Amino acid sequence: MPGSRRRQVTLSDIAASCGVSRATVSLVLRQSPLVNAQTRSRVEAEFKRVGYVYNRAAASLRTRRSSSVALVVNDLSNPFFAEFAAGVDEALAGAGYVTLLGSTGESAERQQAVLLSLMEHDPAGVILSPAEGSDTLRVRQAIGMRAPVLVFNRELRDSGWDQLSLDNADGAHQATQHLLQWGHRRIAFFGGHAGSSSCRQRREGYAQALQGAGIEIEPQWLVETAPTRLEAAAQAGALFARERAPTAAVCYNDAVALGLMLGLQARGRVPGADFAVTGFDDIPEAALSVPPLTTLAADPRARGRQAAQLVLARIGGNAGSENAATQLQESLAAAPAHTVVPVRLIVRASTCAPARP
Amino acid sequence: MPGSRRRQVTLSDIAASCGVSRATVSLVLRQSPLVNAQTRSRVEAEFKRVGYVYNRAAASLRTRRSSSVALVVNDLSNPFFAEFAAGVDEALAGAGYVTLLGSTGESAERQQAVLLSLMEHDPAGVILSPAEGSDTLRVRQAIGMRAPVLVFNRELRDSGWDQLSLDNADGAHQATQHLLQWGHRRIAFFGGHAGSSSCRQRREGYAQALQGAGIEIEPQWLVETAPTRLEAAAQAGALFARERAPTAAVCYNDAVALGLMLGLQARGRVPGADFAVTGFDDIPEAALSVPPLTTLAADPRARGRQAAQLVLARIGGNAGSENAATQLQESLAAAPAHTVVPVRLIVRASTCAPARP
DNA sequence: CCGTGAATTTGGATCGGTCTAAATCGAAAC
DNA sequence: GTTTCGATTTAGACCGATCCAAATTCACGG
């Protein structure tokens, strides 16, 4: 019923109306065994009666223990990251932390602003999926030593922070291998910015697989595009500009692969019948495209949970030292860990034998 | 360089090393015109030198002005909500607020826990896309009068809060009309829980369109399913259980429509050729399915921005009264607004004329 | 009746900012 | 030379919690 106002009720109010001291109420709040059972229930009843809500900000001001974690993600509208974010939030909530969200829209500038703004809210940790073109130094400058950081998905060179990433090289290797087994010999690597670390790693795995098969890569097999469906569709033609055109393509990711398939169809080619395509990520659409896309699955939601676990480990890791400052020191001192998670090939109908001309 | 520790630098430290009082430093922080230009630049230099970062929690403890907004969403992995969240965050960040994320996984229980946890962080406002089966009273109990709320997408009866929703009835009406124009006379409404407000509204629009065409609805044309692809695919058969089977279906949403199309194909029917299907939401996959899905677009990112604007209006709305408590009072007192945004029909290839047997 | 120790409770400082009312300081005005 | 005034600065309380050391209470043994 809009109408009942008055300022919010605090621990002092409770103390007053229960006839005990603020300290006692505080002990009740924290489930201390010190307080008498009768007192406890009296106070707890009052909590309910007046609808008391805890002010965590005030508490962590005193304790110097924050209960939030910042999640900075480059593109929420990408289902891969949305799933990731859901996983992060799930695990953080389970551990009693709240998620501070920041999205950067893949802009290093916005990322900087977002980080600065988030740091003012004193997160206990940061999970960062860096925008393309992030500068390690600037990011460091924004975060300083104030919180442990987990870098996800892209590299941040020499940051000295923990990192969680997919086994990009191995994934691309698997995809290429798969195409080789179908009998392809002319295989392109399509899409992505060669500057980005994930693209570089995927290209490496691809190159290694071809090398292992004794195949030399033609320059025209390497096509760069923005990692979007649209750009990919537009660039499809580049594959067929010259002789020795490829019969298959390992794509940077699913978005690019879906775009390429559209582009192929526009040229009268039939992906999955006379041209083979693989993706990366296994976004939900991959299973529904025509033809369904052979791709590499990484289970982004599980990655999100994992990322959360990793920062939480840095944050709370050392149960031995209760002192928050010391804890931070120790955890920051431990050597940064680089966790690489395997990806698995999901074979669908977009891969096929090379067309016999 | 991990190694440089020491406790974080505070405003008092700055004051000390600049030889001014804490009050002055505080004035500098807040760009007050009171402070002398020389002093200001001296202090600002010190900020940079030592890498000072503002502690917003401490500040808002005193000012009673929070700079965060809670966003509670039922399913982040749904691209519709992911886009929505991105839009919310974009607009909030632009206004200097930070987003506290909470996802409920469509569970009223989790939603309650999430809300309680978020409220402890004292958000200035709440944007809530309620989980199915939310109980207005419990939600009210968690939030109380502590923050203005914007309810998105689903109704929360008698909550007295602002609401932003899609014009569900009109959308379904448009879709049904479109099918009628193709010549269909036996049109089903497929999917969704009839209990949910959005489903009810869509069914209403559908029913009205049919009524307008003088068509009576057969009970078997109304099929309930969970709003997921899988369930929808499994229930496809229900449409053809009896005589007077439909030749087209207005689906609850895109996920259901995509599922239904799969289910149809499994039965040897060809959606877009001998059975017409429409969706709702225009998720990215809708354009890529086979056949591409006729559906209703709502631009979720823009909705997110709009939702953010609406809470911000409640939060900051009254520039006249500087007193925060008074402001909250006034804004909560203003009559709740229900904003309904139009949706537009995107015609693709999943709709066709009825099959001539 | 008093000392003793365990069980409870508490006063008051503290976290890092902001706010209010009052102090300080030159310089212009009388 | 004192008063006055605008410009600047500041002391100290305060926001809502926690923490520490010390105080209080109470039952029990001597």
Q: What is the pLDDT of residues B132-179, one digit of tens each?
A: 889 999 999 999 999 999 999 999 988 999 999 999 999 999 999 999
pLDDT of the residue at A228: 85
Contacts of A146 in chain B (CB under 8 A): 8, 53
**Do A329 and B102 lie within an 8 Å CB cutoff?**
no
Cβ neighbours of A162 in B, within 8 Å: none
Structural tokens at position A321: 């030292």
What angle, 0 to 180 degrees and rounded to 10, lies between the N-to-C axes of helices A108-119 and A136-143?
A: 20
State, as a whole number of angstroms, the distance between the CA of A36 and the C1' of D20: 20
What would the two tokens of residue A30 be?
């924290």
Query: What pLDDT band is residue A230 in, cutting at 50, 70 and 90?
Result: confident
**Does A5 score more than 60 pLDDT?**
no
Cβ–Cβ under 8 Å, residues A244 and A216: no
Confidence of residue A322 (pLDDT cuts 50, 70, 90): very low
Who contacts A44 (Cβ-Cβ below 8 Å, separation ≥6)? Answer: A28
pLDDT band at A324 (very low <50, low <70, confident <90, very high): low
Please work out, in degrees rounded to the nearest 5, the angle formed at the alpha carbon of residue B117 by the alpha carbons of A148 and B153: 110
Phi, psi (degrees; rounded to nearest 5) at B102: -145, 130
Judge whether residue B118 contacts strand D, using its CB and a 7 Å cut-off: no
Least confident residue range of A178-192, A307-321, B50-64: A307-321
> In chain B, which residues from 18 to 57 place their CB closer than 7 Å to nucleic acid strand D?
19-24, 27, 34-39
Flag if A5 and B329 touch (Cβ within 8 Å).
Answer: yes
CA distance A224 to chain B (A): 23
Rounded distance between C-alpha atoms, residue A81 and residue B85, angstroms: 12
SS3 B203: helix
If residue A164 lies in a helix (H) or strand (E), which one and from where to where?
strand A162-166
Taking 80 as the threshold, does the pLDDT of residue A42 lie above it?
Answer: yes
Residue with tokens 């080619």: A269
Q: How far apart are alpha carbons A246 and B287 in whole angstroms?
A: 28
Q: How far is B86 from chain A (nearest CA, A)?
A: 6
pLDDT tens track for B254-282 = 999 999 998 998 899 999 999 999 999 99
More confident residue, A45 or A329: A45
Closest CA of chain A from B101, distance in Å? 5
Whether the CB of A54 is less than 7 Å away from nucleic strand D comes out as yes
Residues of B in contact with A68 (CB under 8 A): 100, 121
What whole-number percentage of chain B has pLDDT above 70? 93
Among the partner residues B56, B105, B120, nearest to A120 by beta-carbon distance: B56
Taking CB atoms and an 8 Å cutoff, what residues of chain A touch B329? 5
pLDDT band at A283 (very low <50, low <70, confident <90, very high): confident
Q: Tokens in use for B301?
A: 């990112």
Give chain A's mean pLDDT.
91
Give the CA A27 to C1' C12 distance in Å: 17
Q: Are B172 and B202 in contact (CB under 8 A)?
A: yes
* Min Cα–Cα distance to chain A from B69, Å: 10
Answer whether B53 sits within 8 Å of A329, measured CB to CB. Answer: no
Q: What is the mean pLDDT of residues B344-352?
A: 97
State the pLDDT at residue A3: 28
The residues facing B68 across adjacent strands are B98
Confidence of residue A83 (pLDDT cuts 50, 70, 90): very high
pLDDT > 90 fraction of chain B, expressed in percent and rounded: 80
pLDDT score of A187 = 97
Is the minimum distance from the CB of A16 to strand D below 7 Å? no
Q: Please check the confidence at residue A345 and state whether its pLDDT lies above 70.
A: yes
Mode of pairing for the β-strands spanning B295-297 and B344-346: antiparallel
pLDDT in tens, A107-146: 999 999 999 999 999 999 999 999 988 999 999 999 999 9
Q: Do B79 and A79 touch (CB under 8 A)?
A: yes
List bases, strand C, within 7 Å of protein CB: 7-12, 14-20
- Of residues A324 and B118, more confidently modeled: B118
CB under 7 Å from strand C: A 19-24, 27, 34-39, 58, 61-62, 64; B 7-8, 10-12, 22-23, 26, 29-30, 52-55, 58-59, 61-63
Q: Specify the pLDDT at position A332.
A: 53
Mean pLDDT of A101-105: 96
Residues A271-294: what's their mean pLDDT? 90
Q: How far is B329 from chain A (nearest CA, A)?
A: 7
Give the per-residue pLDDT at A6.
46
Per-residue model confidence (pLDDT) at position A330: 54
- Residue B262: what pLDDT? 87
Kindly report, residue by residue over B182-222, the tens digit of the pLDDT: 999 999 999 999 988 999 999 999 999 999 999 999 999 99
Of the pLDDT bands very low, low, confident and very high (cuts 50, 70, 90), residue B356 is confident
Average pLDDT over residues B64-73: 96
Which of A8, A290, A333 faces B290 most closely, judged by CB atoms?
A290
Which residues from chain A sit within 8 angstroms of residue B98, using beta carbons? 100-102, 117-118, 121
Which chain A residue shows the shortest CA-CA distance from B287? A289
- State the average pLDDT over residues B279-307: 91
The verdict on a CB contact (< 8 Å) between B89 and A103 is: yes
d(CA B86, CA B72): 13
Residue among B77, B97, B323 with most chain A CBs within 10 A, to mutate: B77
CA-CA distance, A164 to A113, in Å (whole number)? 23
- The 8 Å CB, 24+ separation contacts for B32-38 are none
Tell whether the model's pLDDT for residue A356 goes beyond 80: no
Number of Cβ pairs < 8 A linking chain A and chain B: 154
Complete domains list, chain B, with CATH: 11-54 (1.10.260.40), 67-166+300-341 (3.40.50.2300), 168-298 (3.40.50.2300)
Q: Which of A67-71, A284-288, B70-74, B244-248 has the lowest mean pLDDT?
A: A284-288
For residue A289, list chain B residues with Cβ-Cβ distance below 8 A: 288
Between B17 and A329, name the one with better pLDDT.
B17
Question: Are B259 and B252 a contacting pair, CB within 8 Å?
Answer: no
Name the β-bridge partners of A295. A346
Nearest-Cα distance to chain A for B154, in Å, is 20
Give me B298's structure tokens: 């709502």
- Selected residue of A48, A101, A290 to mutate for chain B interface (largest B Cβ count, 10 A): A101
* A2, pLDDT greater than 50: no
What pLDDT is attached to residue B324? 52
Nucleotide at minimal C1' distance from the A9 CA? D16
pLDDT at A328 over 80: no
- Taking chain B, what is the end-to-end CA distance rounded to the nearest angstrom? 76
pLDDT higher than 80, residue B128:
yes
pLDDT band per the 50, 70, 90 thresholds, residue B289: confident
Query: Which of B8, B77, B332 is closest, CB to CB, to A146?
Result: B8
Average pLDDT of chain B is 91
pLDDT band at B353 (very low <50, low <70, confident <90, very high): very high
Please give the residue of chain A at the shortest CA–CA distance from B327: A5
Strand B98-103, strand B68-73: pairing: parallel
- The answer to whether some atom of strand D lies closer than 7 Å to the beta carbon of A30 is yes
